[in-house]
Structure formats: structure tokens, C-alpha cells
A and B are shown apart, each in its own frame.
Chain A
Amino acid sequence: QLPTGLYKKVLVILHDSVLPYMNEPTLMMDFLTVAYGIGGAISLLALNGLFILIHQHNLEYPDFYKKLYSLLDPSIYHVKYRARFFHLTDLFLSSSHLPAYLVAAFIKRLSRLALTAPPEALLMIIPFICNLFRRHPACRVLVHRPGGPADMSEDPYVMEEEEPSKSRALESSLWEIQSLQNHYHPDVAKAAAVLNQFLSEMEDDISGLLELSAYELFDKEVKKKAVDVPLEFEQVRGLFGKKNDIFAEHFSLD
């Protein structure tokens, strides 16, 4: 049992500067499994080492996807290791042999969590979800259900359910992405609107989007050249002088 800071440091470098040089990488199995079970950022980091063990050293990990599924919580969009985590998740979900219910559950959960995500994460996750749809056409019912019931009073998807198979994700629809079509960031809104149409065959390349930072986004927006600048036509009457100004209700200029 290591202190958290050290744990993180070890796990960050484990996969590329420790594991390749070990004679018996499988010895790390127990360490990584324990770390994976801790939860939070440490689990995310342990994922990388674990992946190498599974991929190259025939490690059998029971309920791997269930565990991965339970790792998804609102903080994944805000943590520092976001790029690494989604890179791996993309790898794990790239197999076309995964059952549709599992992928649907992932899609649904990711998009539910996306309701609290900052724009840079949204710009990454929406193409990510689109890619999942492309790989697993069976999940397309989430965005296209022509013969479904006209009206539902509840989202069939159960967020709290730990087991992906019982989350009833396939009966649901992707209302979250539809909500995101109203996002304030124009690029996010545009990206979300893609799911309104039938998707193209080509997968999007998300490798460039993984590392996107908020500052980069800001910079990109600032550097855009505008042809003309629309102006407010309502005459100002002071700092808080607009109609129904929220500030006038709660702040004073003293």
C-alpha cells in the first residue's frame, strides 16, 4: 500500500519504462489489479499497465469491462489523465466482437456524463461516440429508432446500475447528445448535430482531439478572422441597465 502521490507517479511510468524491461511482467499482475480496484485516478492509471499484461502476456481479467464501466464517473472529463484514459478506452472498445448491449451501455454512460463536461472534453467525446456507432451498427438504435413508442415518461437507461447488461441502454435513446446540440460552444453544437444524420462510413481520427486543452480552443477562437462584427442593437443604459438584468437583482454597484 503506497501513498497516493507515489502510487500515481509509479503508475504513470510503469507501462513504458518498467514493464518492457521486466523478465516476468506478470509479477506486476497483483499490484496492478489492486491498483485497479482502488478507484478514481489510480484506477485510470493502472489501466495502462493492465492493458499491456492482457494484451501481451495473456492475462485473463474477469469482468474487465464491467470494471471499466464502473470507472466512468463525472471526474473522467476533468482529470489530467483524460487523454490516456480515452486512448485506452478507445482501444478496448475497438473490437467489433463486443456485444451490442455493452457498447450501448458505454455510449449511454459516456454521454450522460458528458452533460457535465467542459467543451474540450466534449469535442473529443462526441467523435468518440460516433466512432463507436460506426464500429457497432447494432447500437444505432440509440440514435435511430423509427418504430419505437411515440412517447416515454422515463429514460429506460438506469445510470446507477453497475452491470452493463442490466442497464437497459439499448432501449434508450441518446437524448444527452441532442441536448448538447444546444451547447454554447459552436463546434460542440456542430459536432453533436452530426448524430442527427446517418453517419458516414469513415471513422473520425480522434488522436488529435485527445490532448485538446481549453486554452488551445480559446486561442483558436481568438485567432479566427471575422468578416464583420455584429453589434448589439439595444441601446445601453448603464452597466446593469438591460431589461430583466440578473445582475440588477443581486448585485449593487457600491
Chain B
Amino acid sequence: SNPFEVKVNRQKFDILGRKTKNDVGLPGVSRSKAIKKRNQTLLKEYKEREKTNVFKDKRFGEYNTKITPEEKMIRRFALERQQNYGKKNICNLNEDEELTHYGQSLAEIEKLNDIVDSDSDTEERGTLSAELTAAHFGGGGGLLRKKVSSEQQDEEEEKPKSRKELIEEMIAKSKQEKQERQTRRESALELTEKLDKDWKEIQTLIAHKTPKSERKDKEVEKPKPDEYDMIVRELGFEMKAKPSERLKTEEELAKEEQARLQKLEADRLRRMRGIDEEANKKRPSHMSADDLADGFILDKDDRRLLSYKDGKMNIENEEEKEEDEGEEEEEEEGEEEDNEDEEESQEESASENEEDDAADSHSDLESDIESEEEAAGNKEEKKHKANENESQNVEKSDRKREAAKSELPYTFTVPESYETFKSLLAGRTIEEQLIILERIQKCNHPSLAVGNKAKLEKLFGFLLEYVGELATLDLPELRTIDKLVLPLYNLCQMFPEAASDSIKFILRDAAHDLEEVIEVKGRATYPGLDTLIYLKIVSLLFPTSDFWHPVVTPAFMYMSQLLTKCRITTLQDVIKGLFICCLFLEYVSLSRRFVPELINFLLGVLHISLPKQQAQGYTVVHPFTPVGKNLELLLVCDKEDLKSWEKQNVPLSIVTRLKEASRTEINHTRLSCLALCFDLIKKCAALYESLPSFHEIMHPIRILLTQHVPVNEYPEKMQEWYHSALKELENKVKHYTPLICEKKKPVPLKQYTPKIVKVLEFGRKQAGSKKEQERKQLIQRHKRELKGAIREIRKDNQYLARMQLSEIMERDSARKRKVKELLGSLATQEGEWKAMKRNKWKN
């Protein structure tokens, strides 16, 4: 373009890698564009500013979306016809509407169709086509229609053809040709079919006679694979002998196991202390003078500084290596499992083969049925049906059937609902249930199919629910639960997230129920045995010593609520409470964390084992009360029962069937509880001796033990328990060291090195979070738009002003012109008049 029309935006600095789009502007072009646009829009508006005319679209249903386009067209057409109906020319009798279809006259189409029809008819009858007849016999065929067409032909020959006729002829010809081609193809097909049929007949004859020879011939046709080739192939496909790992000796295995355990233990300890890994690795970081101390830290550089310590590489690497090794080990384990699976499936197929052999002639049939059965999952019932079919060799298969009946199926699908799961396990012995669960796990190993993971995760939930149900029975099947813990553990190891979620769900439900009861009644009661079992299972599945654990910490909270909120009104409550105390002790046995609720509860239990009296020197806290109801729950006065008591384990089922127990039995249970309490006190003392205020914590219990407990009335065994507990409490040295605050770390001085920020993308502001950036961007965009809009409005106004000015100028000039004209005409008039006057004068 013209260089004089180009405006160059000079840039101050050239920046490499930046693309600029606005370095050259074309002011003239853009201005003319803008004016043009305004002429089309603004000027129009301006000119029509005082006009109120409105354009109305009155076409039928133009803006009605409810009517389909076809219907709309039909209605419009009808309307049009109605309008035309009245106006019809009365004189024109001949007026016939030509009906059309896709712009073609229907009459024409009908004509063509007729021709085609006649053709096809003739073909079916096996007669010659119309044209042929026309050509050969001069168009003398008997059919009237053809005569017409031939007549037409004649006419055509005579007349020079009009355009329309030409086209019609062409269409007709092409259609005919098409038809012909089709018929030819059809007849060819028919012929081949016929040929095939004939051949088959002949072939069967041949085949009956010499089927084998023919087969041989075929084999001969195929050249026998060369022996050399075969060997080459075999060698190629043969599994290469891989260098396998040396079998490890027992010692090595033991050592490895030990190392693994050590690593896990170290991990556990780290979690117990609640130290973050990051915190561990944190080093005094470089502080810059430009640092805003806003906690903004650059992402860590991936490269690791190469550093040596005592001639070794830095430890971090080694740690990582260890981790890698761990992973490898895991993978290996997985592979092993896979192998096992395969083996099993092989076994499976082998056993099935055996069964198949038994039913020789029906082998196909049975295997089909069996595969169906596998899908259905309940093999036995259907097998029964299948066996009915083979009535001829019943004797043979009878034994096998018996064996198969008692035998469990090898493959299971994961049950989709809890009901199916329950029905799967119903009526089985514990061992069978375990085997079923194991097989379900193996058949649906996540590495085998995509959806298996989700299925097995569900299985964990079902199993938990099942355990809960077993525990809530009138006679809780604790032995079964004892065994079911194993599959639970295995599943939990496979899917920690899902397992923790489902246990958390159960805990949340339990806590929610508790909270509701408290809100409604103001007091809570102990939950059923199932909840206690769940809490116990938590301690089996998860490490309870962690500083924070997604499952264990809520469990802690829940147990604390149970011990502090639930009323103790019966002996069952005491047993449940003591069970929870045991749980607490177990949970903290490694981490030695302090549980105030535990001490409170034990104190309360001791308190209710004493005869009613005013508490002296100690105070019991909620849920126990110093005075009032529910005291003396553990008090045993019967001398006989005291004497006959023997320490025995409290059966857990007692919480559901205590009512049936005899008085003596109840008394014995009470004494067992007391003994348990003494033992727990002893364990607590051992656990908490390192706490700085151990004596203050144990103070009330010690007072109660030494001053209030009637030791001499207890049986000897109980006295042993008592003394061992007291001994554990007494022989702790009192040891106090004044507290001193940790020294503050000195705040590092700010250094005057520049803060270096990585630039990830040019031309984009980096600072701030994503949200902040977005906000800034929005603000900026808004500003830009606003400026643009203002500029546009200003230009519009300028344009309008220009228009108005030009209008005024035009008007003014017109007026001037008119005035001039008038003046001119007046002047001429005047002139003429003067001339006349002068003439008069002259005359």
C-alpha cells in the first residue's frame, strides 16, 4: 500500500521472542471503514429518528415455533388458496392447476412411471423390452401405452425438438438404461445361484465317495512346511532363557524381612511423633532482602545438589533407593499372586476336564452349561439340572456329583449387594466362608479386569456389615468374626482408601446416633457389641500410634465420647466401658499417649465397687456421680461368692445374655471386672510413668486404693491383683524439673542479594495466586473495554455533529441560493421596469 498512508508505531526496545501485531497502522483505511459502518448504522438511525413506522411481518406463523415447518407451509398454502378462491376468474373454465412435486410436474412423473412399470412388467413376463419391440417391429406392439410413446417418437422425429422435450427424453432414456442394467445383474445372479446349486449337488455326490482323498489332495496342495523353517520359527518364538534371580537362602529372606519390618517401624515412629517429612528435610533457607516474608516460596528445584557426607553420597538418594526397592518388592509380590491365580485357573480347567471326561458323549453340551453356570455364580443347583440330562450314565457320574456337591465352586463373582453377599455365605462353615472370600478375591484381582477394584472395595464394606451383623446376634458369633478379620485385613491392605472410608462411615453413623440420643434424651447409652468390635478392628487394620490418622483419630474421639457421655446403669455398661478402656490402652500402648478419660473411668469403676459412702480425698467426674443411683454396681457382699471366685476371662457375649445368669455368676463377673480394673490401673501406671505429672494424674486412684478399698475382704487372687497394681503406682520416684522454654531460633539477617523469580511465560504477570491473577486480568479487561466504549461513543458524537453541521450548511446554502434567486428575479424585474420607464421617457 501507499507508504504515506502507513503509520509506524515505533518501539522503544526490541524484545526478542515477542511478537507484535500493532507495529504498523493504517489510519486512513480504518477511518474509512469506521465511517462506512457509521453510514450504515448510525446515519440510518439518525435519519429515521422521527419516524414511527414499524415493519410488521404478517406471514403466517413466522415466529411461531410450535408449528413444524412443513405444517407451516401447508397452512400457508391453504391460506393462499383460500385467498385466491374468491378472486378466481369466472370466465376461465380451463384453468387447471398443475400439481408439482419437487418442482416437477406430477403429470410428467406419472407418465414416466408408467413407462417404467410397463417395462418391469414385460421383463417379469420374460418378454422383450419396449424399445426393442419398437426397433424390431416398428413400434407395432399390442400395448396401447407403447403405441402412444412410439407415436410421440414419431412426432419427435418430425418436429425439431424443443428444449423441454429433449430433457424429458434424456430422463426417460437414462431411466430405461438403469432398469436394463439392473435386470441384467439380476439374471446373472440367478444364473450363478443356479450354478452353485448344481455344483453342490454334484459335490455331495463326490464327497460321499471320496472325502478323504479330497482332504489329502488339499494337504498336498499346501506345501508342507519346511523342517528348517519350522525350527527357525520355533527358535524365534521360544522363550529366551532369562537370567533368573538366584533363589534366596533362608538367612537372606529373614534378613530382608527384618529390614522391611525395621523400615516400617521407623516409618511408624516418624508418624507417631507427628513430624512431617518436609519439616525434617527443611534447612535454613536463603533469605533475600527482597523477600517479602509472605511465605511465597519458589517451587523446589528438581535437581539435587550433589553433596557428600563422610565419603558417601547424600542420604536422601539412598532413602529413595530404598523406597524404590520396596516398591519393587511389592510388585514382585503382585506378580507372585498373579502366578498363583494362573495356577489356580489351570487347576480349575483341569478339574473341569475331568468332569467332562466323565460325561463323554455330552461333553460339548455340558461344557456349555458349565460356562453359563460360571457366569451365574451358583454352580451347584444348575449342575444338578445338567446332570439330569445325562441319564444314561448316571451311575458313572453319581459319585462325582456327590463330590462336586460338597466341593465349593472355584469362581465367584463379587456380589453386587449385601443381600447376595449374605446369601453367598449363609449356611457355610467358617472355613468355607474363608475359602469363598479368598476365591472371590483371587478371581477378581484388580489386575485381571478393569472394574474389579471397585467391586472388591465394595466387598470390604459388605464384609464389615456382615461382621457387624454377626456381632449383633443374640448369641454373637465371635469365633467367626475372629476368622473373618483376616480377609478384612487383606482387603484393607489392597484398598486402604476405600477401607478407611467405609470404616469412617460406620464411625460417623455411630457418633451421629450417639449425638442424637444425647440431644433427645440428655443422656446416652452404650452402643451394641458391633460397634465395640468395629473399634477393635480399627486397631487391627490401622496403626494406632500415629500422631494423626484419618481413621484412628476419629475412633479416639468416639471412644472418648463413649467414656464421658454414656451413663453407667448396669453391669453390661461397666463391661462395655472396661472394654473401651482396654481399647484405649491398646491404641496408645506404643505411643504412650495420655488419655484422661481412661483414668477417670477406672476411678469411677473403683468407686462403684465400694459401698456407698461420701467420697473423701478424690472426686469422680461424669458419668460417675459421687452420690445417687447406680452406685455399688460392682460391690459384692456375698461371702460365698467371694470365696468361690476364680479369675476367668469375661466372655463378650455376656453383654447380651447377662439377664439369664445366676446371682453367683453375676457376682463372679463383677469380681472379674474388678480384677480387670486393677490390671488396667497397673498397665496405665506402667504406661504413664514417664509423664511429668504422673503422680497428680494417679493421685485420686492411689487415695482410693490405699484408703477406701476393703482389701482384706477380697479373695486372695484379687488381693494379688490389687497389690500388683498398687505396687506399680507406689514405686515411682517423684521427679520434677522446672520447665524452661525452648530457645528461639535466631532470625536470619536479610541479605542484599536480589530475589530471583522464575519467569515461566513472558508477558504475563506472575505474582499472586491464580485467583488473584484472574481478578487482575478481569479488572484490566474491564478497563480496556470501558476505554474502548468511551472512545467509540465520542467518535459517534463527532460523526453525528459532522452530519448535523453538513445538514445545516446545506440548508443554509439552499436558503442563500433561494434568496439570491429571489433577489435576482427582483433585480431583473426592477431592471425591466426601469427599462420600460426609460423607454417611456424616451418615447
Chain B: residues with Cβ within 8 Å of the partner, total of 99
Cβ contacts under 8 Å, A116 to chain B: 596, 599-600, 621
Contact A189 B547 (CB under 8 A): yes
- Cα separation A168 to B267 with both chains bound (whole Å): 44
Contact A118 B560 (CB under 8 A): yes
Contact B582 A196 (CB under 8 A): no
Task: For the complex formed, measure the closest distance between the CB of A192 and the CB atoms of chain B, giving whole angstroms.
Answer: 10
Given contacts A183-B593, A250-B650, contact A118 B564 (CB under 8 A): yes
Residue of A218, A226, A235, A238 near B558 (CB, 8 A) is A218
Cβ contacts under 8 Å, B499 to chain A: 229
Task: For the complex formed, measure the closest distance between the CB of A41 and the CB atoms of chain B, giving whole angstroms.
Answer: 12
Contact B619 A73 (CB under 8 A): yes
Q: Which of A46-78 contact B (CB under 8 A)?
A: 73-75, 77-78
Q: Which of B508-539 contact A (CB under 8 A)?
A: 508, 511, 514-515, 533, 536-537, 539
Contact B696 A145 (CB under 8 A): no
Cβ contacts under 8 Å, B672 to chain A: 250
Q: Which of B677-706 contact A (CB under 8 A)?
A: 679-680, 683, 691-697
Cβ of B568 under 8 Å from chain A:
no
Stretch at the interface among B147-155, B389-397, B549-557, B790-798: B549-557
Contact B560 A189 (CB under 8 A): no
Contact B693 A178 (CB under 8 A): yes
Cβ of B734 under 8 Å from chain A:
yes
Cβ of A240 under 8 Å from chain B:
yes
Contact A247 B536 (CB under 8 A): yes
In the complex, which residue of chain A has the Cβ closest to the Cβ of B499? A229
Contact A197 B744 (CB under 8 A): yes
Contact A250 B556 (CB under 8 A): no
Contact A78 B542 (CB under 8 A): no
- Cα separation A115 to B351 with both chains bound (whole Å): 66
The residue among B271, B500, B594 with the most chain A CB atoms within 10 A of its own CB is B594
In the complex, which residue of chain A has the Cβ closest to the Cβ of B745? A197
Contact B536 A239 (CB under 8 A): yes
Cβ contacts under 8 Å, B267 to chain A: 230
Stretch at the interface among A15-23, A87-95, A150-158: A150-158
- Cα separation A155 to B267 with both chains bound (whole Å): 37
Task: For the complex formed, measure the closest distance between the CB of A222 and the CB atoms of chain B, giving whole angstroms.
Answer: 5
Contact B737 A179 (CB under 8 A): no
Cβ of B134 under 8 Å from chain A:
no
Cβ of B456 under 8 Å from chain A:
no
In the complex, which residue of chain A has the Cβ closest to the Cβ of B736? A152
Task: For the complex formed, measure the closest distance between the CB of A112 and the CB atoms of chain B, giving whole angstroms.
Answer: 6
Given contacts A150-B737, A153-B735, A253-B652, contact A184 B504 (CB under 8 A): no
Contact B692 A222 (CB under 8 A): no
Cβ contacts under 8 Å, B633 to chain A: none
Cβ contacts under 8 Å, A155 to chain B: 693, 695-696, 736
Given contacts A230-B542, A232-B543, contact A214 B561 (CB under 8 A): yes
Task: For the complex formed, measure the closest distance between the CB of B263 and the CB atoms of chain A, giving whole angstroms.
Answer: 9
Contact A143 B741 (CB under 8 A): yes
Cβ contacts under 8 Å, A244 to chain B: 589
Contact A198 B696 (CB under 8 A): no
Contact B738 A226 (CB under 8 A): no
A-contact bits for B564-605, CB 8 A (1 contact / 0 none):
110000000000001100101111110111111101100000
- Cα separation A179 to B691 with both chains bound (whole Å): 5
In the complex, which residue of chain A has the Cβ closest to the Cβ of B483? A238
B-contact bits for A182-206, CB 8 A (1 contact / 0 none):
1111100100000111100000000
Residue of B541, B561, B676, B695 near A232 (CB, 8 A) is B541
Contact A75 B621 (CB under 8 A): yes
In the complex, which residue of chain B has the Cβ closest to the Cβ of A171? B738
Residue of B554, B585, B600, B693 near A221 (CB, 8 A) is B554
Cβ of A208 under 8 Å from chain B:
no
Task: For the complex formed, measure the closest distance between the CB of B350 and the CB atoms of chain A, giving whole angstroms.
Answer: 31
Cβ contacts under 8 Å, B485 to chain A: 236, 238-239, 241
Cβ of A3 under 8 Å from chain B:
no
Residues on B close to A: CB < 8 A?
261, 264, 267-268, 271, 274, 478-479, 481-483, 485-486, 489, 492-493, 496-497, 499-500, 504, 507-508, 511, 514-515, 533, 536-537, 539-543, 546-551, 553-554, 556-558, 560-561, 564-565, 578-579, 582, 584-589, 591-597, 599-600, 619, 621-622, 648-653, 672, 676, 679-680, 683, 691-697, 733-742, 744
Q: List 23 A-B contacts (CB under 8 A).
A: A77-B621, A118-B596, A143-B739, A144-B741, A145-B739, A155-B696, A159-B696, A173-B738, A179-B691, A179-B694, A179-B697, A184-B588, A185-B557, A186-B274, A189-B274, A218-B557, A229-B500, A232-B541, A249-B679, A250-B649, A251-B582, A251-B649, A253-B652
**Nearest 8 Cβ contacts at the A-B interface:** A226-B550, A148-B738, A252-B649, A175-B692, A229-B496, A253-B478, A145-B738, A184-B593
